[in-house]
Structures are given as structure tokens and as C-alpha cells.
Structure 1
Amino acid sequence: MGKIAFVFPGQGAQAIGMGKDLVETDAAARRRYEEADEALGFALSRIILEGPEAELKATANTQPALLTASIVYLERFQSIHGLQPDYVAGHSLGEYSALVAAGVLSFAEAVSTVRARGEFMEAAVPSGQGAMAAVLGAEREALQTLCESISAGGHPVELANLNCPGQIVISGSVAGVQAVVEQGKEAAGAKRVIPLEVSGPFHSSLMRPASERLAAVLEGVAMNRAAVPVVANASAKPVQEPEEIRQLLVEQVHASVLWEDSVAWLIAQGVDTFIEFGSGSVLAGLIKKIDRSVKVYSINSLEALEQFQLTTA
């Protein structure tokens, strides 16, 4: 039997009504949604369950909303199946869900921290000055070189999310991202460059002001040593010590999300089963593109939760 990793999605996976099937049938899940409302001082649960879409999509709401949904699916799953992971990891915001799963952060503390993180990220760059785009089919090194040359010309643009082979998200100034859109095919072999609907240039050096503000908040957040190793986005390496986790969370806001590298590292440690908790199945899709031979499950509904069976074949 190989090892198991629990993984948690980031922004973009959210959907109105996520977790509703649990909230309606499970007192513990309902309590978690109420606890999120109490931690934030407003009805986040109403936004999660009823929308409107525009409110759920606001970064400062999306982040605590996704974390809340991920944790209720995780807790219900563990109460039914009793399965423990060998490692945990999350994509961007999902790293905070992973830290709750590993016992580093309390649920309430994580909810308020990611709310602040979302606010800082939204405020870091004036609206309309930053952009992100998904680059499909490009070579990583060639795209890196292209971004460096455009940035050197005064229009910062960087690799933000290294998701899987052939899927890299870039982030930076509007002019920088536009230059990659125009030159990506020629200079980096990109098949397509798709602008993303986001409220800022996340995971780029333009987010440094958000990192600094988050650092001040994280100083006051109580953290335990991780019960299982957490594979950090910024390093694609395992961490367990609170001080190192704090530092990497600060970096994570303006650094690349090394998702492909993180999954490859986990597979190299003998992980052959990935279980994704939360809304959608974005990570399941990315993991399959990284290595088709691993088993991947998405626990994103009560039905998925109850029908789950670990295949050992």
C-alpha cells in the first residue's frame, strides 16, 4: 500500500452552495459554518450557500469560504472513514486548509487569517493595474526567459502557478501580461494564452505589500507543529515547524505556486493516492496530468463522501 496525501483547492474552485448537502444533514458541519460567521463577524455562510456570485467571487470572501467548505468535507470524511494522510498540501489558499488538516492552525484562526490575506491581496495593487493569464502548451524554461526579458523592459510579469505540464499561470502588470499574450506563441511555444478574470496579479512580486501586511498578522497567530508534513507551495518541500511555516506563508503571497513540483515530490516519496477535499475537482485534474498512474479522489459532495472506497489495486 502506497502513501496517501490530502490536498485542498485554491481560489477559482468556489461554487455557490458548496457544502450545502453537509450543512443540511450534519450538525458538526453546520457548527463549522456558524463558527466561520462568528470568527468574521458577518454571515459568510449565507454568501457560500446562497451567493450572489459576485460576493462569493470577491477574494476576501472566496478565501474563507473555500477553506470552510474544504474543512467540513474533510472532517465528515474522517469521521466516516477514519483515514489519516501521510502528507498534506494545498494550492495557494488551499495551503491554509492543509495547515488546519495538519493541526497547525485552529479552524477559526485560519478563517480570519485568510480573510485578512484576501483583503491584503485585493488592496496591494490598484484595480486595473495587474493581470493574470493561463499559458497552455509552453515550455517552462522558455516562458521563464520570456517573462524575464519583458520584466527587464519595465513591465513586470512572472510565473505565478506552475500547475502541471503545459499549464502555467503568469501574473504581473497589465502591459507585462499583454506582452506574453502577444509573444508567447512565438517565444515560448505556447498554444494558447487565456486572460483570467481575477482582481489582482496574485503570486507575483507586485504582491509584496500584501506579504508585508500578512507577516504582521501571522506574527500574532498561534501555530502548532504540523502532525504530518505539509508540502509548501513556495518551496515544494515538506515543513512542520511553525516558524518555517510562517515564513513560507508570507513568501507564498508573492512567490510562484510550485504545484507540479509539489505533486512530483509527493509521488517520489511513495504517495500513490491523492484525496482532494472541497469544491470541484480542479486539483484532481492537474494531478492526473502530472502522473496518470496515481489514484485521485475528489470529496466534493455528500454522495462522493459516502461512496468513497479506497482501491488497493
Structure 2
Amino acid sequence: MGKLAFIFPGQGAQYVGMGKDIAAEYKSADAIYEEASEALGFDIKEMIFNGNDETLKITENTQPTIVTTSVACMQPLLEKGIKPDFVAGLSLGEYAAHVAAGTFSFKDAVALVRKRGKFMQEAVPVGVGAMSAIIGLDNEAVIESCKEASSLGVCAPANFNCPGQLAIAGDVAAVEKANEICKAKGAKRAMMLAVSAPFHCSLLKPAGEKLAEELDKVTVNDIKIPVVVNVTAESVTAKEQVKATLVDQVSNSVLWENCVKTMLEQGVDTFVEIGPGKVLSGFVKKINKDVRVLNVENLDSLNATLEELTR
């Protein structure tokens, strides 16, 4: 019997109305939106269901809205007795994974990620940092390109998403230079991303330091399900490791491709992406085309996934 993993999306997957039809159908999902509003002190449910894209794009809004939706969309699966063997999330999604694993209460997690978003945005003034997506070049060539460009400032791989798809981050001039070098090395595409900060590079260390202070105020519970974490791509089962990995994650590369490979090596053959979008589903398929990949972001996808998992 193969194993099941729940995986949770990161920033950029958000859209107005995400999770709304699941919340209308399942009281347990709707209760998560209500709980988030209570924890944050404003009506985040209204922001998600009936707000606008510009408001959702503000990092300190994006982060709690995605985590809330991901945790809400998971509730019907838990209601039906479907429990994962492993959990993981891309960057921000790691917080939803920790909620699934019982590491944090949902209220603590949603309050944390709102602060995390604020700290990440404040760490680098708008216009100073940038990110770029590099398509069609192997990891080593991208790493080398970043090193060559770093004479102009910070430049480093930010996300190892799947074979031939990385994101890089750093100072604007250095990232632009790295794009040129990557293209010269044969990249199919090297394009600047519409993001508000250079996530997952050393420029974000001040945000990690502030986040560490907030994490110290939060209760960390025993981990009930192994969490495969971004910074090491290894399973974390000891609660003592959690805070350090989440702090390091802010300013270090997200090793998503290796996270998926770790779960595959542990016998996972079914991945369920829970929350807005299907970006992670695409990455998993590019890493291993033979595994079963499902998703839950609305009633249609939920019902299709429940049918698959309860056969």
C-alpha cells in the first residue's frame, strides 16, 4: 500500500473567492474562516470571498488568506477520515503543513504568517530587490550564474521547484545580470517576477530575526505527522527543530524538488495539493510522472479527490 502526502501551496496562488464553495457546503471549513477572522481581529473571510486582487496581493494579507484557505479546504478530507502519512508546503505552505501535523494551533499559525508577511515586506524597500524565474537550465548552471552576477549585489537561487525550473532572488541589478548570464548559458526563459520582495535570499535575514521573536511566543506541540521541510528537504518529527527551520526558511533556498523526492523515497505515491491553484501538482508531475496527483481547491476538485481516495 502506497503512502499519502498532503502538500500546501505558497504565495502567488491566491485569488478572490478561493474556498468559498467548500465553506458553503462544509461547516468545518467555514469555521476555519471564522476562526481566522477572530484570530486576526478583522473580517478576513470577507476579504477572501468578496475582496479584490490588489488587497490580496499585499504580502501581509496574502499569507494569512492562503493558509486559511488551505486549512479550510483540508477539513472535509479530515472529516472523511483521510489522513496523510507526510505533509509539506512550499514556503508559506509549510505553515499549513504544520497545522495539519498538529505542530501549531491554526489560530497561532494564521497570526504568525500575517506577521511573517509584514516582516518580509519591511525587510527590503520596494524596488531594491527582485526575483526571476529561470526555465530550461540545470541547477548547477543557475547556481554558477548567480555567483557570477553577485559582484553587483546579492543573487542566489530562491526556489528549486522542479527539474529545469528555478527562481532566483536578490538585488535588482544582480538578478538582471544573472538573467543575462542564464540566457547566454542556454536558458529557455529568464523572466522577472511580479513580486514585492526578494524572498528566500540573505536580504530577508532581518525578517527571520523578527519572526524568531514571534515564534518564541507561540506554543509548539508534538508533531503528529512528519513534516518535510523546505530548508533541508528532510522530515522533521521533533518539535525542538521547528522554530529554527522556519526562521532559516525566510532567507534560504526552498528545496521543493528535493522535498518531493524525500517523500517519494519514503513510499509516497499519492500527493494531494490542498488550497488555491495547482502549481505544486505541476511540479510533482515534472519530478515523477508516475505518481498520482490530486488537488482540493473547490467543490468539484474536492469531490473528485474524495472519489479517488475512498475507492
State the superposition RMSD in angstroms.
1.3
Summarize deviations over 1:72-99 as a string: whole Å, max 9, x none: 111112213x111111000000000000
**Separation of aligned partners in 2, 1:134 and 1:311:** 34
Match of 2:184 in 1: 186
- For 1:159 and 1:234, how far apart are their aligned partners in 2? 12
Aligned length: 310
Q: 1:286 aligns with which of 283, 288, 295?
A: 283
> 2:234 matched to 1:246?
no
Deviation at 1:50, TM superposition (A): 1.3
Aligned partner of 2:254 in structure 1 is: 257
Cross-structure match for 2:12: 12
Tell me by how many angstroms 1:25 deviates: 2.4
Equivalent in the alignment of 1:119: 118
Distance in 2 between the 1:128 and 1:229 partners?
38
SS in structure 1 of the partner of residue 308 of structure 2:
coil
CA contact (8 A) 2:141 2:182 kept: no
Change (3 A) 1:310 1:220: same
Instruction: Decide whether aligned partners of structure 1 residues 55 and 311 sit closer, same or farther in structure 2, where only a CA change above 3 A counts.
Output: closer
- 1:225 paired with 2:222, answer yes
Q: Within 1, Cα distance between the matches of 2:84 and 2:190? A: 36
Match of 1:165 in 2: 163
In the TM superposition, what whole-angstrom CA distance separates every residue of 1:3-32 from its partner, at most 9, and x where no partner exists? Answer: 111100000111110011022222222221
Cα separation, 1, equivalents of 2:75 and 2:252: 30
**Displacement of 1:146 after TM fit?**
1.4
SS of the residue corresponding to residue 293 of structure 1 reads coil
Percent same amino acid among aligned pairs? 48
Q: In structure 2, what is the equivalent of residue 44 of structure 1?
A: 44
| Preserved contact between residue 201 and residue 253 of structure 2 (Cα < 8 Å) | yes
Q: What code does the residue aligned with 1:171 have? A: A
Structure 2 residue runs without a partner (length 5+): none
1:53-64 map, 5 Å = 53-64=53-64
Unaligned regions of 5+ residues in structure 1, if any? none
TM-score (norm. length: structure 2): 0.97
Q: CA deviation at 1:183?
A: 1.6
Partners of 2:101 and 2:193 lie apart in 1 by 31
- Look up the equivalent residue of 2:236 and give its one-letter code: V
Compute the displacement of 1:242 (Å).
1.8
Task: Give the TM-score of the pair, scaled to structure 1.
Answer: 0.96
1:135 to 2:125 alignment: no
Provide the C-alpha distance between the structure 1 equivalents of 2:30 and 2:138, rounded to a whole number of angstroms.
Answer: 45
Q: How far is 1:51 from its partner?
A: 1.9
Give the conservation status (yes or no) of the 8 Å contact 2:8–2:70: yes
TM-superposition CA deviations, 1:264-304 (whole Å, max 9, x none) = 11111111110110011111011000000000001111122
